Amino acid sequence: MIVLASLGGAWWAGSAAWSWFFQPGPLPAALGGWYWGGLVACVLSAFAWLVLGFRALLRGGRVSFGALRWTLYVFAAWWLLHALEVLIGHSRVIEATRAVAAGLVASGLLLVSFRPDSFCRVGSSPRMLRIADLILGNVALLLILGECGVRGASHLFPSPLLDRHGASLSERLAAHRTEPFSLHYGRPRNSLGYVDEEFVAPPGSRVIVSIGDSFSQGAVPWEYHFTTVCEERMSHVEVFNIGVSGIGLEEYRSLMETEALPLSPDVLVVNLFVGNDLVPGTRHGKPRGESPPREYGRFDLDRFHLPVVVRRVGVLWRESSRSAGLGTPQGADARRLSERSKAELEREFPWLADPMLEAETFSETAFLDIEQRRARGICASQDDRFERAFAVLTEMRRLAGDTPLLVVLIPDEFQVEDALWEVLRQRFPAKKLERDRAQTVLIEWLTEQGISFVDLLPEFRQVEPLADGRRHLYHRQDTHFNARGNRLAGQVMATALQRLIALDSSDS
């Protein structure tokens, strides 16, 4: 048992030391990294102490639980180090502290392993030490129970707030779906919870199914959404909008297989937002910092669910007062709003007609943090970051079979607004970032694969700026299309679909 506990401590210490001095390299993954190394150290040590304790009990001796308390402290310290990085962001100071702490804790594990029945005899210790032991023990228990409680709640009450690392596709979709017939800018969603009318096509109509994330769900009333604009510009065509906020390519593939294809579409559209659909980690947010956190084997910050939820609650609390300008009305006013014309909608929401009247959704700090993370993820010359996206798109093309597939490339705002790009460039003075890197790599790959696509970026850049020098195609400090951006996206999408349908008709 002593050997097992010693191996656990050595595993953790070895992984920490190698990762600190020689990363990147193959050994951290072989050792198991921070996550598995720390967990194995705790489990093996606790198992060793339990076995030795029960052996002492069977022999009629007195069992001390000081070693078990030490195990609890080890786990809590290990958890807190990573939680700190989740909450305040990655830094070299935290990285160094974590490496030193790993070595100290591993050394402590080795020492405790030799005397598990007598180490940390708190009962005979000074009063202040006993008080400290009581406080630390309760804090450790609260952290562990809180982590277990949040994870349990994420299973029982799916929601974007409780969305957790490692959830299955069905769990993620359940967490992010909206309720059927719930209101979106005063208009009820359909019976499937999507911002659209019921998915019923008149006889003789061609059916187009559009799949996407929050851009597809929309941050404008349904009448102004790009799928509605597209549908209005095409005759005898129904565009069914399957949009779920907060999802990504893996979920798009699942929705295509389970919901889009059963509708027997004539064309499938995948709305790919280059800002966070391509690179793992840019959607749900790695911690802030000039450089992205290094991963140690299987370790991932989002494996600790409680600090992630605390971070999300903090962001919501800080930003809660800033979205009133785009708010959805409730109650009787909402029911009346669902029956109003566009003119009445624009009186209710003046920013639909004049984007200069929009209020900020996020604070400037939060907005720039989002855009900085995305720019760092998609503008660096590391094409291997996109390999997972390519694999999912390949699978979606296979699932589509003979049904034409169109990929719509949605640009991030920093690729459209020059002033925003200049602000972001100043945050990366020593790093070379290519503003259009994501589109360059995607277009090259899609062309090679023979997959139809339409790139919105050139059309968006051709829009004349308004009086303040900005094009105002996105909500103010929000990253989603406003009515002006939706109108242009719908027009471009309609042109591409008309061309695709015409080609398909000529082929048949």
How is 468-498 classified by DSSP, letter by letter?
TS----B-TTT-SB-HHHHHHHHHHHHHHHH
Residue 307 pLDDT > 90: no
Query: What pLDDT score does 484 carry?
Result: 96
The CB-based long-range contact list for 142-148 (8 Å cut-off, 24+ gap) reads 143/76, 143/79, 143/80, 143/306, 144/72, 144/75, 144/76, 144/79, 146/306, 147/79, 147/304, 147/305, 147/306
Could you tell me if 487 and 220 are in contact, meaning their C-beta atoms sit under 8 angstroms apart?
A: no
pTM of the predicted model as reported, rounded to 2 decimal places: 0.71
Confidence of residue 115 (pLDDT cuts 50, 70, 90): low
Residue 88 reports pLDDT greater than 90: no
281: closest CA among 291, 268, 270? 291
Q: Are 407 and 394 in contact (CB under 8 A)?
A: no
CATH, domain 168-283+322-507, list 3.40.50.10800, 3.40.50.720, 3.40.50.1110, 1.10.260.40: 3.40.50.1110
From the list 161, 90, 156, 145, the residue with the least C-alpha distance to 313 is 161
- Read off the pLDDT band of 239 (50, 70, 90): very high
- Residues 247 and 217 sit within 8 Å (Cβ to Cβ): no
Max mean pLDDT among 288-302, 416-430, 463-477 falls in 463-477
Q: Tell me the pLDDT of the chain averaged across its residues.
A: 75
List beta partners, residue 444: none
Tally Cβ neighbours within 10 Å of residue 46: 20
Which pLDDT does position 281 carry in this prediction? 56
Q: Where are the domains of the chain?
A: 2-156, 168-283+322-507
pLDDT at 38 over 80: no
Give the list of residues 6+ apart from residue 204 with CB closer than 8 angstroms, or none.
236
What is the pLDDT, as a whole number, of residue 344?
86
Cβ pair 391, 254 in contact under 8 A: no
Which tops the pLDDT comparison, 5 or 54? 54
